Copies of this chain bind each other. A is one copy, B any other.
Amino acid sequence: MSDLERLIQLLAKLPGLGPRSARRAALYLVKRRDSLLAPLAKVLTDAADSIRPCSVCGNLDTRDPCGVCTDPKRDDSVICVVEEVADMWALERTAAFTGRYHVLGGTLSALDGVGPEDLAIPGLLARVRGGPVKEVILATNATVDGQTTAHYIADLLADCGVQVSGLAHGVPMGGELDYLDEGTLSAALKARRPV
């Protein structure tokens, strides 16, 4: 197999790229050897060497512990628990949270055979028991698996003396009621607040 075919095959494995768009991306890369292909090759090589999961929270970074775990300005008393690194980054982009994070690495799933020992739950318990943590925010996805995992962790944390909270459910900003599902609408109605 030629370099080009192999390049297309590997690009097609990326999320969001199928065989056709991988072909387009490969051609685009090869035509921009100096401005894109060579720099991308270099940064991928560097990333393969440098990026490691943080041993504290599970974030991906060139440092271990990661930048978020070592940031002295962040609040040690709140840990936000998320499923994946992408969720952590999404929360970081809001700039609305200044505590620490804990990445589970997935959700409990009986179907896929994912048990508590496959997730970073023991590490979370150790952090909560051993540190100055006062609140744990369970920010797993609002899916069945995500909520199951959140309930499981909430049960484990029940006797740790910390406050356990979850994200609010409701109408998304800019959302139109007509296009929302019944579950979201009824959650928003139940959690209604005085204006």
Contacts known (A43-B7, A44-B44, A47-B7); A21 close to B16, Cβ less than 8 A = yes
> Are B13 and A16 within 8 A (Cβ)?
no
| A86: B residues at CB distance < 8 A | 23-24, 27
CA distance A60 to B21 in the complex (A): 17
* A1 shortest CB reach to chain B, Å: 10
Contacts known (A3-B46, A4-B62, A50-B3); A14 close to B41, Cβ less than 8 A = no
| A132: B residues at CB distance < 8 A | none
CA distance A47 to B44 in the complex (A): 14
> Are A51 and B3 within 8 A (Cβ)?
yes
Which residue of A31, A33, A47 has the most chain B CB atoms within 10 A of its CB atom? A47
Q: Is A30 located at the chain interface by the 8 A CB criterion?
A: yes
Contact with B along A3-25 (1 / 0, CB 8 A): 11011001101111100010111
Main secondary structure of the interface of A (DSSP, over half): helix
> Are A24 and B15 within 8 A (Cβ)?
yes
The one of B4, B10, B36, B62 that contacts A40, using a Cβ cutoff of 8 Å: B10
Using a CB–CB distance below 8 Å, which chain A residues touch chain B? Answer: 2-4, 6-7, 10-11, 13-17, 21, 23-25, 27-31, 33, 36-41, 43-48, 50-51, 60-62, 84-86, 89
Give 30 pairs: A residue, B residue, CB < 8 Å, sorted on A: A2-B62, A3-B43, A3-B46, A3-B50, A7-B44, A10-B39, A11-B40, A13-B36, A14-B28, A15-B25, A16-B16, A16-B21, A17-B17, A24-B86, A27-B60, A27-B85, A27-B86, A29-B44, A29-B47, A30-B47, A30-B51, A30-B60, A33-B48, A33-B51, A37-B44, A37-B48, A40-B44, A41-B41, A41-B47, A41-B48
